[in-house]
Amino acid sequence: MYSYMKGELVEISEDAIVLEVNQIGYNIHIPASMIDSFHGIGQEIKIYTYFHVKEDSMKLYGFLTRDDLNIFKLLLGVNGIGPKGALAILTVMTPDDLRFAVLGEDAKTIAKAPGIGTKTAQRLILELKDKLSLEDAFEAKSRHVSEEAGNFGSVVKSEAVQALTALGYSSTEALKAVNGVEITEDATVEEVLKAALKQMAFL
């Protein structure tokens, strides 16, 4: 129904915001992790929305990026996961983290989300792993790193993660180790790989 909304942020609560658009205040449910992205009441923001309708309620869910929204909708397609569970997952994990957790079959990490048990996490992995690809996950991660910090280090980081997965480590372990390495402007893939392998020893 709504693709996105752009307006003034007038209220912030633990799991929702009120966005005023054309003198109408919309109550929009959000992942709690989104709150840190706001600079405060009064700023103009753009929120990508999902309109969820049930017999007894109609609710709006909002996200800062279309990627977040797409992952939310993907989670809703998993048997046993509703909007509340999907928000809980996106509160403790970024879409990139979730992709790598699914592809790495890391149910333990997914199960850290409130209300998501190990069995639900395993079912999520089973239902989503064929809808995600490692290549797309790396591409999305590199794009997000580039958006956050320019192109600096993103290619080196991506190649180091791929090298670790080729060595037999799970994609989640590889990404976690590489993210723990400080990448300088002149760092090579080999240097990052060596540093990441040292990180692996402490994971």
Q: What is the rounded CA–CA span in Å between residue 69 and residue 79?
A: 18
pLDDT of residue 146: 52
pLDDT of residue 11: 95
pLDDT < 70 regions, the chain: 1, 133-154, 171-172, 202-203
Please provide residue 14's backbone torsions phi and psi, each rounded to the nearest 5 degrees.
-65, -35
Reading phi first (left if > 0) and then psi (alpha if -120 to 50, else beta), residue 69 is in alpha
Residue 62 β-bridge partners: 49
pLDDT of residue 140: 64
State percent of the chain over pLDDT 70.
86
pLDDT of residue 152: 45
Give me 143's structure tokens: 């794009």
pTM of the entire structure?
Answer: 0.69
Q: What is the rounded CA–CA span in Å between residue 112 and residue 89?
A: 8
pLDDT of residue 149: 44
Q: Is 26 helix (H, G, I), strand (E, B) or coil?
A: strand
Q: Tell me if 50 sits within 8 A of 60, measured CB to CB.
A: yes
Instruction: Give the model confidence (pLDDT) of 134-178 as tens digits.
Output: 566 666 666 555 555 444 456 777 788 888 888 888 766 777 788
Please provide residue 193's backbone torsions phi and psi, each rounded to the nearest 5 degrees.
-60, -45
